[in-house]
Amino acid sequence: MKLMSAVIAFAVALAVPLCAGAGTPDEAKGLWLSADKGAVIEFKSCGEAICGRIVWDKDAGTPADTCGVQVAQLERYDNGAWRQGWVYDPRDKKNYKGVVRVKDGDLFIRAFIGVEVLGETEQLKRVDSVPAMPSCRL
């Protein structure tokens, strides 16, 4: 019984900060610089959903180029986050369940298998434009 209570408390502790500071559906739209500063992802509407696509990659023009790769498609905005869709990690070339939310001006992409609490989150920073070089040929 104590173990179950501890597991539930841990899950709630992880989930609560992700819900705080929730914004509007349009806050996720725009240009976002990845945590490693190696890519810029543009989030915009795609029908009723929101989609993210790499529009700048530090490796543009090389074999590691990911320009134009769609990295997210989330169908429903609910409880401060875009949900019910997928995110793609070009590093391991795998799709995951995903959640995208904006908190305190940053975009958080959470990728997971099964339950959200057990996933990994990447924090992106908003940018006004993509760097000039190297450029993606989209």
- Give me the pLDDT at residue 23, please: 74
- Give me the pLDDT at residue 22, please: 54
Decide: 68 and 59 in contact? Cβ < 8 Å. Answer: no
**Fold assignment, 2-127:** Lipocalin (2.40.128)
- pLDDT tens series, the chain, 138 aa: 443 333 333 333 334 344 444 579 999 999 999 999 999 999 999 999 999 999 999 999 999 999 999 999 999 999 999 999 999 999 899 999 999 999 999 999 999 998 888 899 999 999 999 998 898 887
Q: What pTM does this model have?
A: 0.81
Q: How many beta carbons lie within 10 A of that of residue 135, not counting itself?
A: 14
CA terminus-to-terminus distance, the chain: 56
**Radius of gyration of the chain, Cα coordinates, nearest whole angstrom:** 16
- Give me the pLDDT at residue 135, please: 86
